[in-house]
Amino acid sequence: MAGMFLVSLAQWALGIFGIFGPSSDVRVGSDTSIRLPQNIKPLTYDLAVRTDLEAKRFWGAEAITIQANTETHKIKLHAGCNLDIDLMRVCDVDQQCWEVREHNYKRNCEARTLSIDTEDWHVFQPNDTFVLVFRWTSPISSGSDGYILSPDVGFPDTSFSAVTRFEPIEARAVFPSFDEPSPKSSWTITLIGRNETVNLANMEASSERGLYRNTEVSTLERLLVEEIDLNGSWKSTHFPSTPLMSINNVAWGNGRFNRIKSSYFSKIRNETISTAVYANLADLSGQNWTLEIMDRVTPLYESLFGVAFPLPKLYWLATPAFGGGIEHWGLITGGSDSSAWSEGQGAASKATVASFVAHEVAHQWFANLVTMSWWDDVWLNEAFATYASDGLIGPVIDEDFNTWKTYQDEHVEKSMTLDALTSHPIITPIEDEAQLSTAFDTITYDKGASVLRMIAEVVGENVFLRGVSTYLQKFAYSNAVGKDLWDQVSLHVNGLDVAEFADAWTKQAGFPVVQVAKLRSDTYRLIQARYLVKNTGISQANNQTWPIPLLMKMTPGHSAMLIMNQTSIELTLANTEQLVLNRGRRGYYRVQYDQIGFAWMREHFISRSSELSGVDRAAFLYDLTSFARSGRVPTVDVLDLQQYLTGETDVSVWNAAATFLLDLRSLFWEQPDAEQRALDQYVAGVVAETYADIGFAAQHNETARVGKIRQLILPLVGWVGIPSFVQESKKLAAALHNDTSSPHGVLDLPVTTIRVMLESAVRYGNETDWQLALTLWNKDRHGSLATAALRSLGQTQDPAIISKILEMLDDGTLVDGMIPHLYILLSLISNPTARRPTVDWALINLNKILRLADNLLRDTVLSGLFSSLSSQKDLDSLKQRFGDKPAWRGLLTVYDSIEVSVEWLARDKERIAKWLKQQAGAE
């Protein structure tokens, strides 16, 4: 219908337009709600965009077909004030159009909304269909959201491409729209770009033609090209209408894109589906593994869900413009570093890329085919994609990719660390942009994934997946809420209210600890309470309880599951030497044993007995390290246990140990030098033998397990300065600087390894070594090693150079944009020598820093800058500046983190120092 309408608009569309410049059309409204009124809904978008990469600018024109839900003369939609709109019209079904003049609309720049009042001309009745027509222009953004510049990498000249990144609410910065996930619309997209560029969008292009003066063009195209010379230097690419999809899934790109292509066969559709990886990189060889994973996991997901991937193609657009991935339907975009892997970088890096790609592909069903109705349910999309990619698909891709084994490291433990502080429920009402940031944090992603896995464990994986399949089929091409999934799973479950169980874990903050006390040889008392690393009495006051799947391991070799709904229960278990709870760490809770249980667990941890799996041993260590932070156990108990890690081969155990040691090293940043050296000496003793065995470079046919352990211990090896590693690090830095390969092959090392080695070269080097790293950064600020070089700069131990870095941040010569700022600031903060001057600088420049960050990054920035402080003086200073109840939620977590450190040091620092001194004397 929109296409027919566009032809009829040609007579007026090419006439004289009202011009609305930014000086006259920007007026601030008073409404504050993030949600649009429900009086109208969008049906279809006809969208045309012309991109001029030389001018770093784009022009857009669109016709949005909308329908009235009620009688109305008010239309409210989103449009950022960066959009210079010079054409705005409303047309009814009879093709009568009204020009929207200045007194008929207002723009709210803070909310980025546009409100139109049609009362002067027409009042729309329920079910009336009408069309909004706009034309606008805007610079292509140099930031990380919206329609953004992406530096072309590896080409002889300096140039840029452009890609979109809309999730969650940045479509409004690119075109007038109803920028909410519901309801869904159909999209027809036309892209105009210079002849030498490539145009990409969600669908496969249906036509492409050069533009000349006599070329027949559509009305929207003509609105965009009438002021340029059509001599064949421009081309137009048309993409057919999409299925119904949410606006945050819309994607396109224009630029210098190279391609590798392939396909997979869909058994459900009985046809071949084309796949490809595009990237504005001169060399795409590092992206072959990404393409292979797409070809392998997409048919696996089709089989797993019983639902075919519905689009005609699935492309991946790799870009240096940002990190991470966005699951746009049919055109996934992701950071080119995140999807790069080549032979020699090791199986661990290969597994990381596979998980990353599989996660985004899983979203093609769980986020795109079925989309949350509102952002408070976005957790379900992310949780399921993580559950599917890390647990279900990983082991199928490769036996060595059994990521269930490290699920607790990546998700359970990561979220528990935050969830034990001031936290929020997984499902949190989202009513403004500040609250929206909570929809994209660790609680949402990682706790959500952990809870989802627990639910699948309780009902049974096969039962859970049957519910997922019926859910996807019932709500395909529409929106849903979490309860819709639980209802579908419940159809296949007897004896459990799935929604009630899920609500208990998703709608209250925090998580429990279960205390296990052995009363008699066969009897145990279990008590649950909310676990917090401070103010441990709050859970009793709040009377919080959870339905806890105990997942018991009763030695020898007998397992069972019981759901604990009460605060306290007693269990009688015959022929059980020791009750071991939460086997496989599939429940989202901690376990604290009494002295008898602790002694038994410690013995079997050290002996690596078959009574405990690697995951169970790691869970014991994770719980113990957290209890040390909260004061439930002495820190020296953990240090004593970690002395026995020599010869340890379990990745999760190493993850628990490495995380704790790095945290403890950070905690001691202002303690006397002698105590810091004693701690470094202890850490060196823990990791030295393992490092000597595996080295810094992957060996031929090395397993992912060994590579993962290397990734975990190298930061510790580099921090304590094991001489052989520092020597190799300086060799590598020189090889990179001289554009030569090290004896081990620089390009064959994972970027994570190169980063740690560059940091060590600077940390244990002099000004010349720092200048070498600066040269690497300035040589190519967008290359694959740029981030590694930038982060290494902050590891200098020279106070004069630290001051110089901060001066360069002041004058803008070191970095531009939020992400590079964040990398160098966090590097400085992680360096005890640089932490204090960096915090002082950040407090002076905080408004400037936060202006660079969007709402989703703000909490990350605040936490990164201030959470590692550890004195009451620092805490009081921050509260004096920002208040006890600050406007930014992230500061509450900062306050908690500092309080935990203050209490931890007051309670344990003397015992730790004494113990370390005794150990050094014993050696």
**pLDDT number for residue 780:** 81
Does CATH place domain 2-250 in 3.20.20.70? Answer: no
Residue 891: which residues within 8 A CB-CB, separation 6 or more?
862, 866, 878, 882
As a whole number of angstroms, the distance between CA 471 and CA 464 comes to: 11
Mean pLDDT of the chain: 90
> pTM of this prediction?
0.90
DSSP-assigned letter for residue 845: S
CA count, 13 A, side-chain hemisphere, 800: 3
Burial label for 813, CB within 10 Å (0-12, 13-18, 19+), is exposed
Strands, DSSP E only, in 26-119?
A: 40-52, 57-68, 74-78, 84-91, 97-99, 105-108, 113-117
Sequence ranges of the domains in the chain: 2-250, 288-309+334-504, 512-606, 684-922
Q: Please pick, among 170, 221, 302, 360, the residue that the annotation labels catalytic.
A: 360
Mean pLDDT of all residues in 564-576: 90
pLDDT of residue 23: 30
- Whether pLDDT at 527 is above 80: yes
pLDDT 10s digits, 635-687: 999 999 999 999 999 999 999 999 999 999 999 999 999 999 999 999 999 99
Is residue 7's pLDDT more than 50? Answer: no
Of 23, 120, 21, 136, the residue nearest 77 (C-alpha): 136
**For position 323, what pLDDT does the model report?**
81
Each residue's pLDDT tens digit, 46-71: 999 999 999 999 999 999 999 999 99
Tens digits of per-residue pLDDT, 733-759? 999 888 754 433 455 788 889 999 999
Q: How confident is the model at residue 345, as a pLDDT? A: 80
**10 has a pLDDT exceeding 60:** no
Domain 512-606, architecture per CATH: Sandwich (2.60)
Query: What residue type is assigned to position 100 of the chain?
Result: V
Residue 907 has pLDDT above 50, yes or no: yes
Q: Which tokens in the block code for residue 467?
A: 């519910």
C-alpha 378: how far from its chain's center? 12
Beta strands (DSSP E) in 574-691 are: 579-580, 590-593
Query: Is a pLDDT exceeding 90 seen at residue 796?
Result: yes
CATH annotation of 288-309+334-504:
1.10.390.10
**In the 8-state DSSP scheme, what is residue 405?**
G
Q: Is the pLDDT of residue 398 over 80?
A: no
pLDDT in tens, 853-902: 766 678 888 999 999 999 999 999 999 999 988 877 788 889 999 999 99
pLDDT of residue 535: 64
pLDDT score for 922: 58
Per-residue confidence (pLDDT) for residue 343, from 0 to 100: 78
pLDDT tops 50 at residue 217 = yes
Is residue 459 predicted with pLDDT exceeding 90? yes
String of b and e for 608-627 (b: at least 16 CB within 10 Å)?
beebbbbbbbbbbbbbbbbb
Q: Is 382 annotated as a binding residue?
A: yes
In this predicted structure, which of 19-23, 281-285, 382-386, 885-889 has the lowest mean pLDDT? 19-23
State the average pLDDT over residues 151-178: 95
| pLDDT attached to residue 552 | 82
**Catalytic residue list contains 360:** yes
309-340 pLDDT tens trace: 999 999 999 999 888 899 999 999 999 988 99
- Name the token pair of 604: 């079997």
Structural class in CATH, domain 684-922: mainly alpha
Q: Residue 16: pLDDT band by 50, 70, 90 thresholds? A: very low
Domain 512-606 in the same topology as domain 2-250: yes
Provide mean pLDDT across the span 911-922: 88
Q: Is 424 annotated as a binding residue?
A: no
Polymer length of the chain = 923
- Percent over 90 (pLDDT), the chain: 73
Question: Which pLDDT tens digit goes with each residue over 540-559?
Answer: 446 799 999 998 865 555 66
Render pLDDT for 684-729 as a digit per residue (tens, 0 to 9): 999 999 999 999 998 878 888 898 999 999 999 999 999 999 999 9
Look at residue 419 in the predicted model and tell me its pLDDT: 94
Give the single-character DSSP code of 366.
Answer: B
